[in-house]
Structure 1
């Protein structure tokens, strides 16, 4: 259930993303981590996404993120989660990769191709592409910026922050009163720390974020980065 894990510059320094087919699965993952490590775990679920599609250009400065597409969850059918898990694990390198996936799932190739097209049209599949190790290509300064913003300001600030060049992810998470007050999160991927701080400086000057306390947690080590767990039978990429 843990698909991302990073060491970051903060007292709360080990950050991870836990996913699962339902909230009960995620709760079991968090309980297991608490038991096996003896450490406190902050549960910070996403409340509202503003941009969670990490796609960026590798050969030029960061552009604005693509406009979010509407998602029609009503289009999901039985068996789609297993298909989505198979796609997130990676396409087989062969002449007919969708045929291989269909064989693994006990379905026909035509059925798989039809469902992929339908799920793309519904916005559930945002895109199919190549995953690259961006750190190896020079994008080594990655910062998670957390914003201690009042709840009533999030709706206005979130979309504007998400649209800033250089901001690659943006979402609202539930804070932990008295422990972790930050509610709005944004990721910055840059080729140097100074470049990342430039992006942050411009974001902090936005009228919607005026006077909002924030902190930049730069990543210093990556322990894990894989696809998310969607299906109970799934194996992450």
Structure 2
């Protein structure tokens, strides 16, 4: 039904871009009425029923756990995407945490082989998210996400919500209407470790080297016979 409406809208648009060039003599009130009706239908299709033609919606179920107490703890939710797109169309889903009252999104998304937290809009980063493929205008998956301890938007404890952002193959991201999941983040505050102050060591008394006594020289005693001899010689001279 939706595809039929789209085809009709396209036909009417093309017709409106090239209105019939009726000769002034051939114009009748009926022709003018038909052309006016065609323009009116275009307005109805694109302004009264836009959601029935182009809209997508996401349904989230069974989000667990409801309380996260560790940055490495995984959050898991069932995702159902409903969108009017051809079979085989690929989209990429991102799990986005944000604290209540803010619009700062954060967190990692599991893509089936690794965790990814951006960048999303450059170097085709969106292709590192969870991939889903449309079949019969819908797709479903189990999305896993976790907080990012290095992101200021995820560091504080409090009430958080999680919603899913959808990226196209060209990298255009949008938040479709969805039932966001609520959870509580309660990260324990780490207790600071008290480092004991080092105890100053008492100075060690190093014994000073003892002086080695120097040997004292003994006076040389001259033999007494030499003195006597000198005295004898002196007496003789007298």
- Work out whether the TM-score is over 0.5: no
User: Which structure shows the bigger proportion of residues in strand conformation?
Assistant: 2
Higher relative contact order (CA 8 A, sep 6+): 1
Normalised by the size of structure 2, how large is the TM-score?
A: 0.20
Structure (1 or 2) with the larger CA radius of gyration: 2
Give the structure with the higher percent helix: 1
